[in-house]
Amino acid sequence: MRMAFELQMLAAAVVIGLVHLLWASAAAQPQRGLKWNVGPRDTPVELTGMAGRLQRAFANFRETFPFFAVAVLVAYLGGRLGTLTCGGAALYVGARVVYIFLYAFGVPVIRSLVWLASLVGIGLILAALVI
């Protein structure tokens, strides 16, 4: 039995989340230091440069991913998979891949448009639930 494309995209989004986590953590390490990482982390460290941007990009991913995941699962369980859900899932995942690089390298405006595209992807999935 072949896994639904939308579920494959959900799994890909989880991988993107892990990439966000690992890249942000690696970039933050030089600024935070080992003592902070292994300690109680009581004192926050304000990250700058790429490390700060990666931290914010990861926070942004964590804001949108639950909506994407629930939309995909509801569409799958509700038997509403089709062109809209395939396109929406691909758009969300593709936009999130591009977004992390745009944010990491400080590209303005286009980054916001790509973020909007990821939300349109979620919207397409949701549209399939009501059409």
**Which residues, at least 6 apart from 128, have a Cβ–Cβ distance to it below 8 Å?**
75, 80, 81, 82, 84, 85, 88
pLDDT of residue 7: 98
- Domains of the chain listed by start with CATH number: 5-130 (1.20.120.550)
pTM for this entry: 0.94
* Rounded Cα–Cα distance for residues 90 and 40 (Å): 39
User: Which stretches of the chain score pLDDT less than 70?
Assistant: none
Give me the pLDDT at residue 27, please.
96
The reported pLDDT for the residue numbered 107 is 98
pLDDT for 21: 97
Convert 30-45 to b/e letters by CB count within 10 Å (16 or more is b): eebeeebeeeeeeeee
Q: What is the pLDDT of residue 37?
A: 85
